[in-house]
Structure 1
Amino acid sequence: MDNIENFRKNMKHPDIMTKHSVAVRLWHWSTLIIIMGSLVTVLLNSTLFDVKNNASYIQEQLQSVSVNLTPQQAKHVAHGLEDKVWDLHSYFGIALAALFLFRLLSSFFETKEQRFFFILKKYIKNYRTLSKKSTQALHDVAVRVLYLLFYIFLSIMILTGLSLTFKKELDIDPATSHSIKEFHEFSMYIILAFIAVHMMGILLAELGKDRGIVSQMINGHK
């Protein structure tokens, strides 16, 4: 166990495992805020701005002041309100894409020992060195693989979201747009699942031996 802890805390540079760069911390919290904002827009359009419910409400309210609208006209107005929220959703998506690009570019300025794949390879090597009998070493590899999957699905969600936002400019037909939307929604659910697992893992770590993870991501130190 001591060998594992030494490996985790000192892979040539002892501070790497106890300190995150400003770029990583900025990306982490900004991405969290943007994703939460994006999810709020989805929640609003599935509840308060639901077209079917709002169309009936708009029609009833206007009738109370002697303004008559056909169901189709009321639905058109409701769609307009929904589109306003989707526009905000698109802005969040563009911001998320910019942050993801920032994360990719900032990785080129990290030391070799700070880079994602270097650390992943080190954990895999450590796991193999311990003859695959260490639960902690397996945990370290599993966590890094989950992060890799997160990056993959985040990139899919961003690319599909941008395709939907600029579908007119890209001349994407309705059938293709529908398929892209399904991939986008599927990726969103995967991201939500990852966030839930991530939060649970942090909670268990803070209650266990690996305390200080949250403060490490806030100020860079445990």
Structure 2
Amino acid sequence: MAIIAPTRKDVQHHGQIKKYSASLRLWHWVNTIVISGSLITVLINSTITDKRAVSALVKNELKNAGAVITDDQASSAAHALGDSVWSVHTYFGYALAALLLFRLILEFFQLADQKFIRKLKSAYQQFKTTKKEREVARHELTVKGIYAIFYLLLIIMAVTGLFLAFEDLLAPFKSIRHSVKSVHGFCMYLILAFIFVHVIGVFLAERKTDKGIVSDMINGGGGHS
């Protein structure tokens, strides 16, 4: 069992498969779409709409068409294009913040045995007290710990992103803008790392002992293993 691979087994209820509420499944897949969209906008702005490359392209194309513009004018056009992409990124950020709020509220209304905090505590207790299937308990605790870090990263991303989106209203804190932006960007790389680890883990789980884990996140899981 790979340490990064999630498991279908419910450590709280021996012999049963984990259940996922419809609300949690909706959050999971919409969150996947929003994070993917946000990361794609970053990729576009760092490659396709790179300011220097676009400036040179605009200037050359207009020159070939018989128009002459200055470097500053070409740079302004490139900057406007980049701003358009960042605007889309900002909307994805608003959606991410809303989804995070939804997830936090959902935690209070989930069935007791489906709450993340309870599952994390249960995994820890199982690891501390159980002697049978200790490896399973350790694995579950590790996976839940990784998810906890992911949630923390989402909170940091949302808070720093909102700070950058409303920086004009937060003028008194302008001195920390660069630091906030650096933290925001660094967290993005950590989330990318989590996504990579998560996808590989799910792939390994599907290939080995936990086939059907993706189906569970679509259909809700449950039943006996």
- Common fold by TM > 0.5: yes
Matched residue type, 1:45: N
Relative to 1, partners in 2 of residues 1:76 and 1:7: Cα closer, same or farther, differing over 3 Å? closer
Relative to 1, partners in 2 of residues 1:157 and 1:217: Cα closer, same or farther, differing over 3 Å? same
Structure 2, unpaired ranges of 5+? 1-7
Partner in structure 2 of residue 221 of structure 1: 221
Matched residue type, 1:181: K
TM-score by length of 1: 0.90
Q: Distance in 1 between matches of 2:84 and 2:46?
A: 14
Do structure 1's residue 123 and structure 2's residue 123 form an aligned pair? yes
**Stretch moving more, 56-65 or 124-133:** 124-133
Relative to 1, partners in 2 of residues 1:218 and 1:134: Cα closer, same or farther, differing over 3 Å? same
Relative to 1, partners in 2 of residues 1:172 and 1:58: Cα closer, same or farther, differing over 3 Å? farther
Matched residue type, 1:156: I
Matched residue type, 1:10: H
TM-score by length of 2: 0.89
Do structure 1's residue 10 and structure 2's residue 13 form an aligned pair? yes
Relative to 1, partners in 2 of residues 1:195 and 1:61: Cα closer, same or farther, differing over 3 Å? same
DSSP 3-state at the match of 2:170: coil
User: How much does 1:172 deviate?
Assistant: 5.5
CA displacement, residues 168-196 of structure 1 (integer Å, 9 cap, x when unaligned): 12226654221111000111111111111
Relative to 1, partners in 2 of residues 1:221 and 1:113: Cα closer, same or farther, differing over 3 Å? closer
Identity over aligned pairs, percent:
43
What does 1:106-185 correspond to in 2, within 5 Å?
Answer: 106-130=106-130, 134-171=134-171, 175-185=175-185
User: How much does 1:65 deviate?
Assistant: 2.3
Partner in structure 2 of residue 197 of structure 1: 197
Higher relative contact order (CA 8 A, sep 6+): 2
Matched residue type, 1:189: Y
Do structure 1's residue 187 and structure 2's residue 187 form an aligned pair? yes
Partner in structure 2 of residue 211 of structure 1: 211
Relative to 1, partners in 2 of residues 1:40 and 1:64: Cα closer, same or farther, differing over 3 Å? same
CA displacement, residues 126-148 of structure 1 (integer Å, 9 cap, x when unaligned): 11113598222111100011110
Q: Distance in 2 between matches of 1:6 and 1:18?
A: 6
C-alpha RMSD of matched pairs (Å): 2.1
Does the 8 Å contact 1:49/1:81 carry over to 2?
yes
Partner in structure 1 of residue 49 of structure 2: 49
Q: Distance in 2 between matches of 1:167 and 1:7?
A: 44
DSSP 3-state at the match of 2:76: helix
**Stretch moving more, 131-140 or 104-113:** 131-140
